[in-house]
Amino acid sequence: MLSQTVEYALRAATYLAAEPKQSRTVEQIAAATHVPVAYLSKVLQQLVREQIVASRRGTGGGFTLARSPHKLRILEIVQAVDPIERITTCPLGLAAHGKRLCPLHRRLDNALAEMEKAFAASTLAEILAEPTKSVPLCNFPAAAACE
């Protein structure tokens, strides 16, 4: 249900949240998160436009989170790059349905509402602090370990 763009944005934001004061280049973030550099560059620019990520040019420049991971909600990242589109009218345009959703589309919209609710209730800091036995994609924030 989520696009690859959302997945990549969440990986990048989570990586930056691990050391929020540390500036990282697009190449460092791409290597650590296993995202193609060109694609990641576009995703990061979207996050910059939405003031989720800050960028600085020049020596010592790169990308950092624009806000504290404790205040940055997963939903904000999702909405910045590929907003969740709720179903408000019949997607088939059937006049008989009017503004009412059929049982199928009502259930789909309910699922989207639950996803929004879960993402709105979760911050990046909570994601990083959650204990897990899962092997991470890479060893945040040590990008060198992700080869």
Domains of the chain as residue ranges with CATH: 4-83+123-145 (1.10.10.10)
Q: Which residues of 7-19 are buried (b: 16+ CB within 10 A; e: fewer)?
A: bbbbbbbbbbbbe
> Is 0.85 topped by the overall pTM?
no
How confident is the model at residue 64, as a pLDDT?
95
Residue 104 confidence (pLDDT) = 85
In the prediction, which pLDDT does 146 show? 45
- pLDDT confidence of residue 114: 96
Can you give the pLDDT of all 147 residues of the chain as single tens digits?
A: 789 999 999 999 999 999 888 999 999 999 999 999 999 999 999 999 999 999 998 887 899 999 999 999 999 999 999 999 998 887 777 777 767 788 888 899 999 999 999 999 999 999 888 877 665 555 554 444 444
What residues pair up with 73 in beta bridges, in sequence order? 123
- Counting Cβ atoms within 10 Å, is residue 144 exposed (0-12), middle (13-18) or buried (19+)? exposed
Buried b (16+ CB within 10 A) or exposed e, 69-91: beebbbbbbbbbbbeeeebeebe
Do you know the residue count of the chain? Answer: 147
End-to-end Cα distance, the chain:
29
- Measure the CA dihedral 28/33/39/45, to 10°: -70
What local confidence, expressed as pLDDT, does residue 144 receive? 42
Task: For residues 96 and 98, give the distance between their C-alpha atoms in angstroms, rounded to a whole number.
Answer: 6
Given a contact cutoff of 8 angstroms between Cβ atoms, the answer to whether 12 and 44 are in contact is yes
